């Protein structure tokens, strides 16, 4: 029996990555019905319905939960509404893929996790870097190279004047945990200004993860370039992944014994949702629902520390220490 999927939110994420991912899953694997899309802006909901072939559009979370006969939900609403909408879906008994961050503080994430457990709900959080083919391959190669000694991310963007860029930087915060396979032990944070007249805040982080792994994170929202580079030092090798976010091909390079080797990464297509891990996380949700098994991670509980570090950046704290 086909799984009936609902998409909550009809903004950028729905149009650029989740809508295309659901459409392509239906084309490539079948077994699902795009039952409904919901947004408080009915016009936007109608547009996404028509663009990706959903059966119906809704302007109310309650209406879609009551009327669409859903078996699974993808929640991609505005950040302040993430937990509320995901909580409603979990209470309705739906397995949920929830966009990041699942809350704006660690306490709110813990509260959502408790509510999910109380409802016997199943949820995974959409930290798509954990599913990005280039980073998945980087992690595999680092594990083969030997113990991980250090991880680093350099994130650059063009004309990003967000009042709080930490909700984007959290991607890198979480990805470094994924690559290292460890949590943060302690971090020291400094802040700078960037862009014309210093309109945006940059983050510069150094620290140590569990097991003594060194970590670095450098985030500049107005750097005049799009760059997201992950570097892992493992064994006697250096491994580097550059993410192109669909604007250019991702790159994966291994440096060992004085030689440089480019590694080819297999992706379904060059589209952003395929190279960026969005399709893979949606597919992981739907495959698990169709099998009737547990959802893959990260769970809500898995993301508590990533959100705690995000909150430290957003509040301008100069250090983070694991509790």
Residue 247's pLDDT is: 85
Would the pLDDT of 245 be above 90?
A: no
Would the pLDDT of 107 be above 90?
A: yes
The residue that leads in pLDDT, 248 or 218, is 218
Would the pLDDT of 29 be above 90?
A: yes
The fraction of the chain above a pLDDT of 90, given in percent, is: 96
Residue 58 banded pLDDT, cuts 50, 70, 90: very high
Would the pLDDT of 53 be above 90?
A: yes
Residue 138 banded pLDDT, cuts 50, 70, 90: very high
Q: Hey, where are the domains in the chain?
A: 3-126+276-298, 130-268+307-321
Superfamily of structural domain 130-268+307-321: Dihydrodipicolinate Reductase; domain 2 (3.30.360.10)
Average pLDDT of every residue of the chain: 97
For the whole prediction, is pTM greater than 0.85?
yes
Q: Read off the pLDDT of each residue in 298-321 and give the average, rounded to a whole number.
A: 98
Would the pLDDT of 21 be above 90?
A: yes
Residue 291 banded pLDDT, cuts 50, 70, 90: very high
CATH class, 3-126+276-298 region: alpha beta
Paired strand residues for 187: 207, 320
Residue 256 banded pLDDT, cuts 50, 70, 90: very high
């Amino acid at each position: 029996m086909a799984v009936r999927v609902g998409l909550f939110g009809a903004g950028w994420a729905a149009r650029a990555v989740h809508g295309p991912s659901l459409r392509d899953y239906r084309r490539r694997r079948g077994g699902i019905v795009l039952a409904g899309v919901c947004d408080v802006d009915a016009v936007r909901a109608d547009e996404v319905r028509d663009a990706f072939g959903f059966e119906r559009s809704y302007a109310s979370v309650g209406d879609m939960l009551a009327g669409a006969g859903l078996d699974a939900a993808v929640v991609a609403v505005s950040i302040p509404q993430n937990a509320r909408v995901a909580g409603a879906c979990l209470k309705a008994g739906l397995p949920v893929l929830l966009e990041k961050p699942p809350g704006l503080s660690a306490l709110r994430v813990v509260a959502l996790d408790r509510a999910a457990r109380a409802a016997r709900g199943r949820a995974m959080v959409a930290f798509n870097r954990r599913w990005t083919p280039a980073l998945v391959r980087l992690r595999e190669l680092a594990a083969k190279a030997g113990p991980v000694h250090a991880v680093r991310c350099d994130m650059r963007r063009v004309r990003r004047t967000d009042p709080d860029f930490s909700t984007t930087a959290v991607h890198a915060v979480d990805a470094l945990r994924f690559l290292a396979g460890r949590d943060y032990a302690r971090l020291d944070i400094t802040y700078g200004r960037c862009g014309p007249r210093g309109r945006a805040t940059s983050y510069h982080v150094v620290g140590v993860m569990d097991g003594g792994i060194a970590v670095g994170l450098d985030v500049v929202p107005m750097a005049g370039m799009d760059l997201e580079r992950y570097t892992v030092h493992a064994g006697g090798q250096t491994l580097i992944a550059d993410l192109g976010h669909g604007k250019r091909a991702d790159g994966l390079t291994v440096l060992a014994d004085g030689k440089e080797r480019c590694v080819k990464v297999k992706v379904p297509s060059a589209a952003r949702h395929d190279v960026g891990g969005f399709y893979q996380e949606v597919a992981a949700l739907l495959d698990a629902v169709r099998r009737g098994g547990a959802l893959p991670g990260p769970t809500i509980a898995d993301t508590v520390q990533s959100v705690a570090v995000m909150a430290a950046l957003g509040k301008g704290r100069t250090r983070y220490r694991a509790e």
